[in-house]
Structure 1
């Protein structure tokens, strides 16, 4: 009976309704702090190869010697091809591949995005493995232009040399495809989408030609990025690029194999995210972690390999960086050993991790360690949503009659008699009573705002590139005015009550929390970044208006007119801070911080949305923006009657 009485006391305690904001803030603080403890040894571990059959670095490589002369001849030929027209260059590349002994084909593609034409032609050749049954294949890729737009002189020459070298070996149990896309972003996307397309109509609707020649299921892809001039240049380290579209990641075994071969067998240092000098300190680990989160949250392609990862084809790019003593022969032997390791596989890479965050080339944090950070941020919105839902179902009641003897040394809480079984207990009297919820108007407002979110989503991904900055500025103006206008209309015409505002916020935050929790399992970085940027929405409440009762007691000594002016100033500051936290303003701030051109960023986002299916724009405008607008409506509504 004592336990039941305590539970009843806790149920009616007003402290419970005051806890959710603190719980929400605690979830946000712990979620962000969790991110900063990931570089510690206790929350990360050394990389290791899970697939024993891959045997990285266990074979002797024979690439070298006379192949160096072949490479220099191909490099000079690539330089001469750079002086030709596109038609002559493509014809010459096809001729070179035929001379090597490959089955050759070409694939033109054409995209129109934001008024800009993206077109080119991919050239590829298939080397049929002497021991292969045409069921599996590996891809060796060297784009004509790398991700920075430079001609990939040495990378393409090395790929041609390796193809000629591989042709002489009889050890291959998988076909090898040499792919030469026109660029490093849209060429690979056109080729891999056509490779996995089973209907010619699908590729035709995207202006992507079907592939006349195909091989087996793609097991892995290795891209070479070595854009030095035609006279050669030595490098210091290999920067391994691995991020795919929408934050998809290749199997960690492929990265571990590349690192083990390059650093262990060839003595080439490996870097991640351009961290050329990594001391393995906490600061360097955290910097690498932050760079990985930013890259993954953007969801854009980071190299020619990115287009393959969403198709469950493990792919990486080996990019030469720095000025050292390693040359093309070192990179060639690394690539040979890597392909021979992939050739050992009896099945697709599956034993290692597909969800991870690298802290350096030899250390990572697994999904079990980093996922709670995003889940706690998503949970903060859910906690606030449930608290608002509970508050919306209660209304305050008048003071109850106090029982004799309940006042001692000041006012005590009113008590009421509650029967528990055959006994009775005195518990604090309830200060609220259940109220019927009016949910039609709040649900309609939330639905209308989410439908309106497709306007900025469509305009910023469909307009001509020269109109994209104007469209973003229009979106900013609309975003800042919409909450105030909607709040005024709802107050004057529909007489929206405080209860309906609470229900509206509850629905919106619940959608935001569940969306981010689901997204965290697919793209942790995007869910974490959006969760941090949207965290103020958990604490948005209607601004006080026409009253000074909510001010601290210390302000009681200030005159009424000064208190009212201070209230107006505080409301103005809160509104300005809320406007700064809007998604379009945050986009402008991020462009300024990373020294990015706003128009260029919007164009890349439009290209990613139209060509590669990058859903970052959808998360920003259809998940985060509606929640911000609904919070703005509640903020501008002001205090009022239920």
Structure 2
């Protein structure tokens, strides 16, 4: 026993020594490891369309298409009559609120519980404390609010005959009652016909809520306001309720104080059960003519959130295999005609053929055209997730953890062609009925399939277990390079002696960095100062937004001027970062550590933002070295390093990168200084975490990058 106890520490010591030796090997060859990992990360990112898998339905209880649709020609006739009533109503001047009343009357006519939801528009103002909050900025309801200052949602609820009222399915149709378009009338007509059908079926086990959302202040605003009151209601006094007798009928177009909304108990806010899923239904006529009707699916919500993949899968299955619709998702059109991407696609196609010839069981078979289209779709999916802004009003539901998508139906004919409307209504109605029937079969919330994924086609996806490999490879060198100056048992000598020179680190004077040394504190102080300056830059728009009547160009110039002044003041207070001739080595090390932590945290909040940010931040961290130090390497290497450093210095600065991208896509004649302010304002209004990443992670990294480049 004593002998065995003595042998155990030896094995543990051997294992620990193996780990130490492995770590020492990686650190001593950090340059080689960095190059290999970065190249592998970029290749893994390019191979994602090849690694995409076909979608499949994970939850067997959904059973899409297992029942014959009940939506018939009779329901189509009801849809046509409803559309005709709306078109006739819109020809009457000054009846903006009569259409919500008309929708409510038709809801009540099929036996639904009806009420009108009054809401006020959001107040678009930056506030740093509202980030990651699902409650948007809203205007406080005033007692003397006129009818012209608020919107009115018409809401109908069908109680399920087989349900207990604990779950519900939501159907949303946005429209502008003051300027209703034919496409909006068609979406309302289609939704009403489905709603009327569901009021008669016996298989319904979940309540159905139809929200006819007043979108005069924006589609997202109306849905978000209703969801806020649905989940966290505010009980106003009687004078603040929407009294249907307050507004009187009038032909005046400009005064909504003289319009009546009639309905029994229209003030009472009614609720159904917990929302199992939500569908936002829209009809939109495309400019280009199509051979057949199409369906476009929008799924991205705030900060990269996505609905459960099963919801998209059942929509795609029913649309393609039951209704014969052409299903599309967003793509980046410029990449479809890209020459370099087509060349990459041809190379990938040849490699896939070689791999298949080696082992037929490998199913990596993709054509060049499919690769280009998959890459364009993947880039669009990553971009919309990274920007952190919802692609439709379905994003309001994800803030409350409700799976939702926007279904945009586009007919292949002109909307004015009444003869083709019936077939379009029949296909659209049966599609929505099938989706609702599948969700109705669920005994619990969506949970079987993926929540973290990228789409490369309507029926292909890349799961989190695959696409995170590229990100892991990109950031893997960061901790290795960061710890390189502190490696060794006792000390590291950085000198000009070629025989005793650590790869990547040179300086004119010989210094020693021991493990117990505190020389890194000065570098940490510089990094802390830079991040403190970034926090100031982050908060500046909050104070600048209080200035009335200021143009985006002026705002941008003031932002830059104040930010530069703040940096100079911090230099005066905390001292210059160029106090030590060889300080850039430690400054680079601490900078890399801060960037690694920032990218890691951002990957938890919004993975797409971290993935795209790593493509720029990681090369900046690994390549950076003072420009004066380039004289110590060969001429060819010197030119390459200086070119890469200068290019990254330009591309890494967010305003410059945005202006270059916009100039290349839209022409430099349409680019202005205030464009970045408009874009930043767009991000902070939507509480996008991308705004925090740009100013708390990316901007400090770029500032430190420039510090090191200019280091003496």
For Structure 1 versus Structure 2, the TM-score category normalised by the shorter chain is 0.7 to 0.9
Aligned counterpart for 2:220 among listed residues 177, 180, 185: 185
Deviations 1:139-167 (A, max 9, x none): 01111159x99662211221122112211
Aligned counterpart for 1:194 among listed residues 222, 229, 236: 229
Deviations 1:161-184 (A, max 9, x none): 211221122221111110122232
Q: Distance in 1 between matches of 2:59 and 2:42?
A: 34
Decide whether the 8 Å contact of 1:482 with 1:629 is kept in 2.
no
Match of 1:254 in 2: 311
Match of 2:704 in 1: 630
Match of 1:358 in 2: 455
Match of 2:580 in 1: 497
Q: 1:542 to 1:322 in 2, by over 3 A?
A: same
Match of 1:404 in 2: none
> Structure 1: which 5+ residue stretches go unaligned?
202-209, 401-410, 415-429, 556-565
Deviations 1:525-570 (A, max 9, x none): 211111112233213544254x885143799xxxxxxxxxx99x99
Decide whether the 8 Å contact of 2:655 with 2:676 is kept in 1.
no
- The RMSD of aligned alpha carbons is 4.3
Q: Does 1:70 align with 2:78?
A: yes
Aligned counterpart for 2:63 among listed residues 27, 33, 55: 55
SS of residue paired to 1:445: helix
SS of residue paired to 2:396: coil
SS of residue paired to 2:317: helix
Task: Give the alignment of 1:117-128 within 5 angstroms.
Answer: 120-128=151-159
Match of 1:617 in 2: 691
Task: Give the alignment of 1:121-160 within 5 angstroms.
Answer: 121-144=152-175, 152-160=184-192
Aligned counterpart for 2:632 among listed residues 550, 558, 570: 550
Aligned counterpart for 2:36 among listed residues 26, 40, 60: 26
Superposed displacement of residue 120, structure 1: 3.5
Aligned counterpart for 1:536 among listed residues 619, 629, 633: 619
Q: Distance in 1 between matches of 2:566 and 2:634?
A: 32
Aligned counterpart for 1:584 among listed residues 639, 652, 655: 655
Decide whether the 8 Å contact of 1:253 with 1:352 is kept in 2.
yes
Instruction: State the TM-score, normalized to the length of structure 1.
Output: 0.78
Q: Does 1:302 align with 2:391?
A: yes
Decide whether the 8 Å contact of 2:107 with 2:156 is kept in 1.
yes
SS of residue paired to 1:317: strand
Q: 1:465 to 1:264 in 2, by over 3 A?
A: farther
Aligned counterpart for 1:343 among listed residues 416, 431, 440: 440
Match of 2:259 in 1: none
Q: 1:399 to 1:522 in 2, by over 3 A?
A: closer
Q: 1:250 to 1:113 in 2, by over 3 A?
A: same
Decide whether the 8 Å contact of 2:411 with 2:424 is kept in 1.
no
Q: Distance in 2 between matches of 1:55 and 1:369?
A: 28
Match of 1:107 in 2: 118
Deviations 1:39-69 (A, max 9, x none): 11xx222111111111101111121212222
Superposed displacement of residue 467, structure 1: 3.3
Aligned counterpart for 2:204 among listed residues 151, 168, 172: 172
Q: 1:588 to 1:339 in 2, by over 3 A?
A: same
More strand by share: 1
Superposed displacement of residue 606, structure 1: 3.2
Match of 2:355 in 1: none
Q: 1:589 to 1:544 in 2, by over 3 A?
A: closer
Superposed displacement of residue 258, structure 1: 0.8
Q: Does 1:511 align with 2:600?
A: no
Q: Distance in 1 between matches of 2:90 and 2:39?
A: 55
Q: Distance in 2 between matches of 1:393 and 1:311?
A: 54
Decide whether the 8 Å contact of 1:247 with 1:297 is kept in 2.
yes
Q: Distance in 2 between matches of 1:362 and 1:578?
A: 40
Match of 1:441 in 2: 522
Q: 1:192 to 1:511 in 2, by over 3 A?
A: farther
Superposed displacement of residue 601, structure 1: 7.4
Q: Does 1:453 align with 2:542?
A: no
Decide whether the 8 Å contact of 2:485 with 2:492 is kept in 1.
no
Greater shift in the superposed pair: 342-351 or 314-323: 314-323
> Structure 2: which 5+ residue stretches go unaligned?
1-13, 127-136, 140-149, 237-266, 337-365, 414-419, 502-509
Q: Distance in 2 between matches of 1:32 and 1:466?
A: 42
Q: Distance in 2 between matches of 1:117 and 1:466?
A: 22
Match of 1:470 in 2: 554
Decide whether the 8 Å contact of 2:117 with 2:226 is kept in 1.
no
Decide whether the 8 Å contact of 1:105 with 1:213 is kept in 2.
no
Q: Distance in 1 between matches of 2:304 and 2:699?
A: 21
Aligned counterpart for 2:681 among listed residues 595, 601, 606: 606
Q: Distance in 1 between matches of 2:675 and 2:154?
A: 29
Decide whether the 8 Å contact of 1:446 with 1:630 is kept in 2.
yes
Q: 1:193 to 1:169 in 2, by over 3 A?
A: same
Superposed displacement of residue 589, structure 1: 2.4
Match of 1:242 in 2: 299
Match of 1:562 in 2: none
Q: Distance in 1 between matches of 2:383 and 2:323?
A: 31
Greater shift in the superposed pair: 509-518 or 344-353: 509-518
Match of 1:419 in 2: none
Q: 1:121 to 1:17 in 2, by over 3 A?
A: same
